[in-house]
Amino acid sequence: MNIRPRRSALYLPASNPRALEKARTLPCDVVILDLEDAVAPDAKALARAQAVEAVRAGGFGARELVVRVNGLETPWGADDLRALAGLAPDAVLVPKVSDGGDIAAYQAFLSETPETVRLWAMIETTRSLFRLDGIARMSADTRLSAFVLGTNDLAKEMGATLTTPRLPFVGALGLAVAAARAYGLAILDGVFNELEDEAGLVEQCRQGVEFGFDGKTLIHPRQIEPCNAAFSPSAEAIRWAETILAAFDLPENAGKGAIRVEGRMVERLHLVAARRTLAIRDAVAG
């Protein structure tokens, strides 16, 4: 099972050269060079140029390198995508996707980038929540490989309050994860805005783990370590996964659909989950 760790995905404004340099040393799994929300209109061209140079220069090590472009409906989106022609970040993250047609439009702009470049989509509009299946289904014919939740924009459109427990968004979060998993997509949780509230961040990361997210998007380096800890398998989870694998490997359990392990009923679906847990452990260690 080949799983790439995406526990922590840090947004960094591409207009800030110091941030771009620091990104090469941070312990996050994903670096997102942001041309959109984190960049003022008068700095868009500079951010684009510096992102292009950063992708060309490389030096991000094992970190996954993603560029978030401006939307095609803005004055900068098409130029952002054209600037990436011929370059090979790991992925291009596109904002405010509302339906499968948006995915098709962005896919067309990626024709000049290497085949290895994936397409990630922000789920952050109210319209998208009613079209999650159709959007995720586009992965069959496009480069779409991940969803990223944009909870701030969702809160704005809904007129909802974005608290730590995120009660108004529970349904949306669950459905987004379900749609992603139905089509084999990775999925990252939205950001936590309160930089001084580490307890709140830890709680929201715990919630994200329970929902089944692969990791969380972040807005400050200080959020990386708590996020990495939350989305890494615990020692007990690893022990239990190894126990399940060992139990199913016993000759007397060959071919059985369900067995008893340490007083618990374990089915083959738990075996799949156990293998995923150990794959994540190995990916993080690697």
CA–CA gap between residue 120 and residue 90 (Å, rounded)? 10
CA–CA gap between residue 19 and residue 22 (Å, rounded)? 5
The secondary structure of the chain as a DSSP string is ------SEEEEEETT-HHHHHHHTTS--SEEEEESSTTS-GGGHHHHHHHHHHHHHH---TTSEEEEEPPPTTSSSHHHHHHHTTT---SEEEE----SHHHHHHHHHHGGGS-TT-EEEEEE-SHHHHTSHHHHHHGGGTSSEEEEEE-HHHHHHHHT----SS-GGGHHHHHHHHHHHHHTT-EEEE-----TT-HHHHHHHHHHHHHHT-SEEEESSGGGHHHHHHHHSPPHHHHHHHHHHHHHHHSGGGTT-SEEEETTEEEEHHHHHHHHHHHHHHHHHH-
Cβ-contact 29, 63 below 8 angstroms: yes
In terms of Cβ atoms closer than 10 Å to its own Cβ (0-12, 13-18, 19+), residue 279 is middle
Instruction: Profile the chain (286 residues) by mean pLDDT over runs of 10 residues.
Output: 89 96 96 97 97 97 97 98 97 98 97 96 98 98 98 98 97 98 97 97 98 97 98 95 95 93 95 92 87
CA–CA gap between residue 81 and residue 113 (Å, rounded)? 9
Running DSSP on this structure, what letter comes out for residue 250? S
CA–CA gap between residue 283 and residue 4 (Å, rounded)? 6
Instruction: Please provide the size of the chain in residues.
Output: 286
CA–CA gap between residue 222 and residue 32 (Å, rounded)? 16
Running DSSP on this structure, what letter comes out for residue 233? P
What does the angle CA 183 – CA 185 – CA 186 come to, to the nearest 5 degrees? 155
Rounded to two decimals, the pTM is: 0.94
